[in-house]
Structure 1
Amino acid sequence: MARLFIPFLLFFIVELYTFFALRTLTKNKMVLVAYWLLFVVVCLIIVYNMYIVYNENRFSLNTGYAIALMLTYFVPKVIVFFFLFAEDIFRFFAGIANYFSLDSRSVSEAIPSRRKFISQVALGIAAIPFAGFLYGVFKGKYDFRVITQTIEFDDLPDAFDGYRITQISDIHSGSFDNIEKIEYAVNLINEQESDAILFTGDIVNAKAEEMDPYISIFEKLKAKDGKFSVLGNHDYGYYAYESVTDFNENHKKIEAVHKAIGFDLLQNENRQIKRGTDTLNILGVENWGASRHFPKRGSLVKATQQISDGAFNVLMSHDPSHFDYKKKEFNTHDRFNLDTVKEETNIINFNKKIQLTLAGHTHGMQFGIEIPFLNFKWSPVKYRYPKWAGLYAEKGKYLYVNRGFGFLAFPGRVGIWPEITVIELKKKKLTT
């Protein structure tokens, strides 16, 4: 409990500043008492759900909504705190000036009216993220966006000029609470009429059973050349199982889920798509990322077996850090003794060229700002994953990071919307 003291002390300080701001607008005792009662109720809800997570090792939808409540309730108040704290600094120096001023009344009389104005401004600005979080929880998490991306390649086989791939990632079915919205999204995917559908991992939060209510929906996905998939870090059941037996049983069920949907699950494997004499290779690796907290089972060597040099390859790798990770120690959190792959290379330096890599994993943190016409995007997740959303190019190779189909922990999305990506492959025209 001691480690919780400091966070709750900070929460209380922020709450106190917001209370002072509210008190400049109303002196109604019922309103002010209700304010503190609400604070106590919110804290109790948060503490109870923290108890569930830490002591019973389970994360429920109710816990997710408790996180949403905490963010919606406290984040706007942090804005109020910074405004009023800055005002307190001003008041401190104004007090010093007042002490030495010949006309001290003019300074002291101005401070209360200034305080009221600052409080009104702070509360008004805080209303913006408050409204944003409410929208994100009730609407934003199912506000699916189709993002189209055209990528040109010098070495694309002629028969695949104009080939269309729909990418989805991070379904996280255990977080869903609206079947109709998922049906809508699946129909939206089918409307794209792409040649292939590629799913880049995290079909569940932890347990295969989470997908049971949605198999009949996702099995309706259609693509001319098939539906291909890989596993993400959550698909290994690290967050739900303590025994190797339970872990292995869940893994078999996960494989069965992919098969029931019609996904061709690639576990360090490859498939070929033919157009006449031309070939496009679909590669899929198991999870491999720079973080030591997730399993490292992806093998580019295995995935490219029998793939000739100079072939055109599209790779599915769940974690975007696989693309250009810098060599580090290969520590991994692996209590199930999984086969950790110690390949000393990343995708861009691999000895066989992989023209296009598709990844997910980051969700864009489900929170951020994107202004497409200014080509501006920002999310706190960029400080953990520099390549966190959209298209990136390095050494003549491309990485596309999908923002995710579903959501995890926080049951909402603010500014970073659920994504269905349509990528068109084009043959780069030679210039004379």
Structure 2
Amino acid sequence: MRTPLGAFIFVIIMLLLDAYVFQVIKTLSQSASPRTRTIIFSIYWAISIIAIIGFILFVFTGPDFLPRKVRTYLFATVIGLFLAKFLAVVFFLVDDIRRLIQWASGKLFFKNTEGETISEDHISRSLFLSWLGVAAGGTLFGSLVYGFSNKYNYQVKRVSLKYDNLPASFKGLKIVHFSDVHSGSFTNKEAVKHGIEKIMAQNADLVIFSGDLVNDKTIEMKDYMDAFNKIKAPMGVYSTFGNHDYGDYVSWPQDGITKAQNLKNLMQVHKDLGWRLMMDEHVALEKNGEQIALIGVQNWSAKARFPKYGDMAKAYAGTEKYPFKILISHDPSHWDAEVRPQYGDVDLTLSGHTHGMQFGVEIPGFKWSPVQYVYKQWDGLYEEGRQKLYVNPGYGFIGYPGRVGILPEITVIELT
């Protein structure tokens, strides 16, 4: 999108959407007075032009041209408007297809005795579908704006998991699982610290972080080290890398730092936080003379656009002797693609990555997000035979600075 051609194409699409939606706005405002119509039209085009200018500024200016917070909200608002209009257009297109079919039917089938058509050449728009489209687009945009206030609304979710093969000493083990911090997106340190206080308030035996500490660069953690280093647990804090941690989505070097050095620096950050970074390896957790295995792999995805850095065979080797195994793997597609088919004795896998798309519906008995059409396992608990997967929808956010329906989560898992 940051190429001139890509930006030009997107602006053309925005203008076409604006022109199409404007035709409907004209229809819906027919009964209004000329003065009111002028005000409506002026407001509509003023917002549309500002959105296009905002998009151009975002694409063709550097990150220091506007404050990071302003750039983030500007981009989110422009994309929100675009998506809202796009959704509204779906309804308008349905109406126009109806009108086209009705017009064609009149031309083909309804003729008088002299062979002339008796249908009208102009078929009015459906006010119902027009208003429905406007309402749908407005609701979407309104929900995205409302979602700005939810990005630090951390929810504690408690899950109890029963296993017959869990050693007696580990029954009642309490694990806090969180994922996808994306520190480069944060703009409110106090809110972030409040979430960390919630983590510590759970008094967990073990804390697990399943990847994506940063968006791209290690420097993003600079202002948050003294917050996240407060996370402690009697049995330790264990972490792994997610796809964003490798710096694959920016050009290097950055500020004189190479990609390899950035990754090395991020490894040191985990160490400085007091977290044990799991790089295709395992450790034995011991309690009262009994042991279970904790395995951690680097990012491994079954989706083509995400990397396969992890080496499950290397991480798993030597764990056969342990009666119970927990795996930390950032991308939940790893579970169906490799873990379940090849490692049937991995009892519990902890993942993140999807964020629940930061948009969806989650109410008792019903859960939906567009991300479910990409990821079969995208939020919460999944079970196949004796194996279980839990997907945490994320602690932070990226891109869209908000959450609608799918809130940031701190998962408390108790093994029984």
| TM-score strictly above 0.5 | yes
Preserved contact between residue 200 and residue 317 of structure 1 (Cα < 8 Å):
yes
SS in 1 for 2:319: coil
Q: What is aligned with 1:396? A: 386
Distance 1:90 1:101, change over 3 A: farther
Cα separation, 1, equivalents of 2:106 and 2:334:
60
SS in 1 for 2:285: strand
Q: What is aligned with 2:240? A: 230
Preserved contact between residue 291 and residue 322 of structure 2 (Cα < 8 Å):
no
Does residue 409 in structure 1 map to residue 409 in structure 2? no
Please report the RMSD computed on the Cα atoms of aligned residues, expressed in angstroms: 2.9
Residue deviations 1:390-419 (CA, integer Å, cap 9, x gap): 111224211111101111112121221111
Q: What is aligned with 1:423? A: 413
Distance 1:390 1:52, change over 3 A: farther
After superposing the two structures, state which structure 1 stretch, 246-255 or 4-13, moved more.
4-13
SS in 2 for 1:153: coil
Distance 1:188 1:122, change over 3 A: same
Q: What is aligned with 2:98? A: 90
Does residue 79 in structure 1 map to residue 64 in structure 2? no
Does residue 386 in structure 1 map to residue 376 in structure 2? yes
Matched AA of 2:47 = L
Q: Which ranges of structure 1 fall in alignment gaps of 5 or more residues?
A: 326-345, 427-432
Distance 1:32 1:190, change over 3 A: same
Cα separation, 1, equivalents of 2:233 and 2:157:
18
Q: Which ranges of structure 2 fall in alignment gaps of 5 or more residues?
A: 113-117
Please, which of 331, 351, 371 is the counterpart of residue 359 of structure 1?
351
Cα separation, 1, equivalents of 2:174 and 2:319:
22
Preserved contact between residue 354 and residue 397 of structure 1 (Cα < 8 Å):
yes
Cα separation, 1, equivalents of 2:304 and 2:87:
34
Cα separation, 1, equivalents of 2:208 and 2:343:
24
**Normalized against structure 1, the TM-score is what?**
0.83
Cα separation, 2, equivalents of 1:310 and 1:281:
6
Q: What is aligned with 1:126? A: 137
Does residue 43 in structure 1 map to residue 57 in structure 2? no
Q: What is aligned with 2:38? A: 29
Aligned length: 397
CA displacement at 1:423 relative to structure 2 = 0.9
Q: What is aligned with 1:334? A: none
Residue deviations 1:182-212 (CA, integer Å, cap 9, x gap): 0111111112111111000110011111011
Residue deviations 1:225-273 (CA, integer Å, cap 9, x gap): 1111111121112233535971222122212211222211111222222
Preserved contact between residue 179 and residue 352 of structure 2 (Cα < 8 Å):
yes
**Normalized against structure 2, the TM-score is what?**
0.86
Does residue 298 in structure 1 map to residue 310 in structure 2? yes
Distance 1:107 1:122, change over 3 A: farther
Matched AA of 1:183 = K
Cα separation, 2, equivalents of 1:89 and 1:422:
51
Does residue 153 in structure 1 map to residue 188 in structure 2? no
Equivalent residue runs for 1:273-284 within 5 Å: 273-284=285-296
Cα separation, 1, equivalents of 2:234 and 2:56:
50
| Identity across the alignment (%) | 36
SS in 2 for 1:291: coil
Preserved contact between residue 14 and residue 52 of structure 2 (Cα < 8 Å):
no
SS in 2 for 1:201: coil
Matched AA of 2:369 = S
Preserved contact between residue 288 and residue 322 of structure 1 (Cα < 8 Å):
yes
Preserved contact between residue 217 and residue 262 of structure 2 (Cα < 8 Å):
yes
